[in-house]
Chain A
Amino acid sequence: MLARVANNLFWMGRYIERAEHVARYLNVNYFASLDAPNEQSQSRQFVLQSMLFMADDLIDLESELDEEKVLYDIGLNPEKSFSIISYVKAARENANSARDLISTELYEAINKFYHFVLNYDVDNYVKRGLYDFSIQVTENSSILRGKIRGTLLHDEVYAIIMLGINIERATQIIRIINSKYRDATVALGSYGDTLKNSYEWTTLLKCAESYDMMRRFYRKTPTSINTLEFLILNPDCPRSVMNSLNQVKKHIYVLSDEKLPSKNSAAFQIGKVKAKYQYKVIEEIESDLQTFIQNILDDLNGIALKLENDYFHY
């Protein structure tokens, strides 16, 4: 498999996952805010800031935000590299360069997704179409995942796409946690009594499509501790960081045939990162979430860089 094409497929996986998480974040936050139990969580500025903070690294938190502009920038502004439309375009372009390697069914699904986003009426979207748009983006992403799993050979091509998807999933979950943690801090005291019991944890779980299963698992109201534990450390939660790392570890072995990976290899580094988080306890993480977030983002970046050096350099 060509190194250039492998790189494109890796990024195709990442962009699909990114588009999905951003869309879900928009949807869940916007609609959760409409009937949130406190004024702060209902505040439109608060929600818009949160959305922009999640989507863009370089947001100015001081200025007054315009709802239509924020929605446009995150959803359909082709000039913004962090917009959903840019991610979908990039995913499709990457798929295009690997069209001979992926199934017709997968390509057709990506292509339909692209045309859906490209032709979505901007005016409708910023005024009343947010729900429809974001739901369709997440549904299209699910279709793509289904086509990836169900129509591709589970070989190198598949492994590379899955590496991209899982590294990105972990990254996005961390970004969502980061945003919601910030929201919970800002909204502190307005619901319940402390950060631990903030309404934002419920929103966070819904952003990760993990609310129902989390309730089933703990049979408790979401708090900072059980929410973070579920989303970061629970290996059975499909969107947890731990599950993503396990997947990354599994798929790297399709590319690397070393039983005992050499210490300079991507497989070794992935194993090391996985082991580092496998035996963490949530109290330790929760007590200094900011440091944890920075560390894990650095670790995930490190893995992606290593993969690039080992496999995608051309």
Chain B
Amino acid sequence: MQPAKPTFESYKRDPKLYDEIFDETDQVREIYNTLFDLYSEHSAADFNRLNNKAKSSFFNQGITFQVYGDHEVKEKIFPFDLFPRIIDPSEWEIIETGVLQRSKALNEFLWDLYHDKKIIKNGIVPLELISSSVNYLDQMNGFDPPGGIYNHISGTDIIKHSDGQYYVLEDNIRCPSGVSYVICNRTALKRALFGVFNHYQTHSVTNYAENLLEMMESVKPHGVDIPNCVVITPGIYNSAYYEHSYLAKAMGVELVEGRDLFVENDFVYMKTINGPEKVDVIYRRIDDQFLDPLEFRPDSALGVPGLMAAYKQGNVCLVNAPGTGVADDKAIYTYMPEIIKYYLNEEPILNNVPTYHCSRPDELQYVLDHIPELVVKPVDEAGGYGISIGNKLTSEEIEEVKKTLKAHPRKYIAQPIMSLSVHPTYIEESECFEPRHVDLRTFTLLGADKSFVLKGGLTRVALRKGNLIVNSSQGGGSKDTWILKNNQ
């Protein structure tokens, strides 16, 4: 028999990057000490076995996302890494208050955009930015959503840079997904390595659904006593269907599709075996443009005719509110520090990545001159698509990017290439741990007089060596994320 191969033996720390486990002197950071010792006891063979077990557990439970092939839809599991990420309570404090601050500021911003537009009148955010946004909905003008909330659910993407500081990459306030993986990852890790939890006091992540339901109930329409809440999904073929069904099940509410609902006299009903039943709060996981064929895309089969009218009558609450997309545009992101100061009169707790907006001529010029040092991103794409990373481009590709930028400056922003921190990740091919870039998505809930940040988050891992893009649609994986309790 071959001697067991130590899985950390070949680990090489890159001195240019922030390593979550090893400090500048190659010592294990204190918070990881116990965990590192525990994991070092395992051989590569152990990890292979546990890794395969975890994979088949996800597969059997149907915790998969769909990849569309030529003939058939293939199911893939979101790769799960067995080495958890630990966040220190004092660092978490900063993240938690920081994301909550951003969510609150964005909510105020949305209220203002759909009412007095003071921030534009005061010259802080330029009018063109709003008027040119496809996500601004005229239908929402002057409308007061129940509880005064627009972005009930926000997902904030955060990275740690080589300076050891956290930076926000983007705010997702349309339909941020991934929270179900946070909970599944925790379950999977507990099953695979249950012993490790005896050594750390970690905050639970299983209370998300109860807080989500409480939040939804807090924004019930006026005059409703006990609200009937539902989750609406585009259907079983949607790539995030697992999450939709998970959330509905965990809250104990119905998971509906557009065809299950109808509107009569501006009230929304679902078609049940006992006849129509009124619906009061809808957590919608379909995009604005598909919500109501009478208001938006007439060809939408996913939505409910008349839903917007019922909403505007105040008879149903939509979570998140339609039209929130105008505020999570990457161009708006540029203004987040000003937006926070304007509405909350506070300094931003979390850093923004310095951003150049190509619609401003002088900044466009800077971007054109410095493409190899920058990441160029479209303002309205999700899933990591359309991104050009400057130092990976050939000179022809650089010229190509310049041409695109000159043709559509409003569509792009550019940021310095941030060096996302790395975390040891078990790599199947080499059967040992290697550093891989990670980010963190947090989940924030805003309700009427209620807010909640999930103590945990989705740590996404870019599985290909050197790759900075962590999105699952681009082959990324994820890790369980521990927020430690204060007393250790």
Contact = CB atoms under 8 A, between A and B. Distances in A.
B62 interface: yes
A255 interface: yes
Interface stretch (A58-66, A94-102, A137-145, A204-212): A94-102
Contacts of A1: 254, 272-274
Contacts of A97: 235-236
Contacts of A104: 61
Interface residues of B, number: 24
Contact of B273 (A6, A93, A107, A108): A6
Nearest to A7: B273
Given A2-B256, A4-B260, A100-B245, A115 B271 contact: no
B236 A93 contact: yes
A111 B271 contact: no
Nearest to A93: B236
Contact of A255 (B246, B257, B270, B273): B273
B230 to A, nearest CB: 9
Interface in B65-103: none
Contacts of A4: 257, 259-260, 271
Interface string B98-122: 0000000000000000000000000
B190 interface: no
A3 interface: yes
Contacts of A100: 231, 245-246, 248-249, 253-255
B60 interface: yes
Contacts of A108: 60-62
A314 B60 contact: no
B272 A112 contact: no
Nearest to A313: B271
B366 to A, nearest CB: 50
Interface in B263-283: 270-274
A311 B253 CA distance: 20
A99 B245 contact: yes
Nearest to A156: B273
A258 to B, nearest CB: 13
Contacts of B271: 2-4, 314
Interface in B281-340: none
B59 interface: yes
Interface in B22-67: 59-62
B56 to A, nearest CB: 10
B416 to A, nearest CB: 43
A5 B272 CA distance: 9
Identify the interface centre among A100, A108, A255, A312: most chain B CB within 10 Å of its CB. Answer: A100
B60 A2 contact: no
Contacts of A101: 249
Nearest to A99: B245
A96 to B, nearest CB: 5
Contacts of B259: 4, 314
Interface string A1-27: 111111000000000000000000000
Nearest to A92: B62
Contacts of B62: 96, 99, 107-108, 111
Given A108-B62, A111-B60, A314-B271, A96 B256 contact: no
26 contacts: A1-B272, A1-B274, A2-B254, A2-B256, A2-B273, A3-B273, A4-B259, A6-B273, A96-B241, A97-B235, A99-B62, A99-B245, A100-B231, A100-B246, A100-B248, A104-B61, A108-B60, A108-B61, A112-B60, A115-B59, A115-B60, A156-B273, A255-B273, A311-B273, A314-B259, A314-B271
